[in-house]
Structure 1
Amino acid sequence: MSDQAVLNVLTALTKAWNAGDATAFAANFTEDADYITFFGLNTPGRTAIEEGHRALFAGPLKGSKLTGTGEPPKIRFPLPDVAVAVVGGNSTVEGHEPDPARDSTITYVLVREHGSWLITSFQNTRRTPIPGRPS
């Protein structure tokens, strides 16, 4: 169990996104992974994740980059071959600066299969202010 092994997967995921490489992006997921977007859409399975991101990288998210929010990731291992990572995230659209309104909290569940860590569940939750509570 190693935080670094999990961070390596998240780094590979970010590099693939930033390169607009849907195949490399999807390679970080299990065959039966669930990918849940910030608006609640579930894209099930590595093949669908790849196809969906290929369209996004060629269209509305072309040139976009993943960025962090500056918070360190929280990683824990509830079982030896299961990791949960909670990470702050953001993305920028080509030609724009990071927008705090795009900040998200992302939860990854990773499993170790045949010695490699892969993401089996991804949940992106957009951060929104709580009414009546200071930010």
Structure 2
Amino acid sequence: MSTTEATTEINRLLARLTETWNAGDSVGYAELFTADADYVTFFGLHLKGREAIEETHRGLFKTAIKLDESDVEPSIRYITDDVAVVVVGGASSVNGVPDPSRTSTVTFTALRTPEGWRFASFHNSRVVKP
């Protein structure tokens, strides 16, 4: 698979992440991660594995928080043909109103698996002025 094809697939994975979040689909969201994924929330909670990701997001998705589309192109850097570091900007809204206090930078490790690309790690950091 070429880098261009891999980049297209990783961008689809990112789009699916937003789609499943905004649909409140905790099972679909968790399936975007490897079974043993490391997931660190913006407040430092470390979830270990797809099951913990699904369980935690099941409750979170009952809130009014939605992800907004970013107008910034993700940074995708290939470590090997099957592993990439992905950095994206994130914004969200609450009850349809953009919330700048929730702006984040999210770093993923994307891994090519037999099922396609999946996220093996996730780390969300709030963007604040130093």
What TM-score do you get using the length of structure 1 for normalisation? 0.88
Q: Which runs of 4+ in 1 moved over 4 A?
A: none
Q: What is residue 87 of structure 2 aligned with on the other side?
A: 86
Partner in structure 1 of residue 111 of structure 2:
111
Q: How far has the Cα of 1:66 moved from its partner? A: 0.5
Q: CA separation of 1:115/1:77 partners in 2, compared to 1, >3 Å: closer, same or farther? A: farther
Quote how far apart the aligned CAs of 1:63 are.
3.4
C-alpha distance in 1 between matches for 2:69 and 2:107: 13
5+ long unaligned stretches in structure 2: none
Q: Measure the CA separation in 2 of the matches of 1:84 and 1:49.
A: 20
Please say if 1:24 is aligned against 2:24. no
**Cα distance in 2 for residues equivalent to 1:34 and 1:78:** 18
Equivalent position of 2:120 in the other structure: 120
Give 1:102 shift: 1.1
What letter corresponds to residue 111 of structure 2 in structure 1? V
Alignment of 1:35 onto 2:39 = yes
The alpha-carbon deviation at position 19 of structure 1 amounts to: 0.2
Task: Supply the AA of the counterpart residue of 2:107.
Answer: T
CA RMSD of aligned residues (A): 1.2
How far apart, in 1, do the equivalents of 2:47 and 2:95 lie?
24
Provide structure 1 residue ranges, at least 5 long, that are not aligned to the other structure.
Answer: 131-135
What is the identity percentage for the equivalent residue pairs of Structure 1 and Structure 2?
A: 47
Residue 8 of structure 2: SS of its match in structure 1? Answer: helix
Q: TM-score, normalised by structure 2?
A: 0.91
Instruction: Say if 1:76 and 1:83, in contact at 8 Å, map to a contact too.
Output: yes
Q: Deviations over 1:52-99 (max 9, x none)?
A: 0001112xxx2321114422111111111001110000111124x212
**Rg larger in structure:** 1
Greater mean alpha carbon deviation, residues 108-117 or residues 79-88: 108-117
User: Counterparts of 2:25 and 2:83 in 1: how far apart (Å)?
Assistant: 26
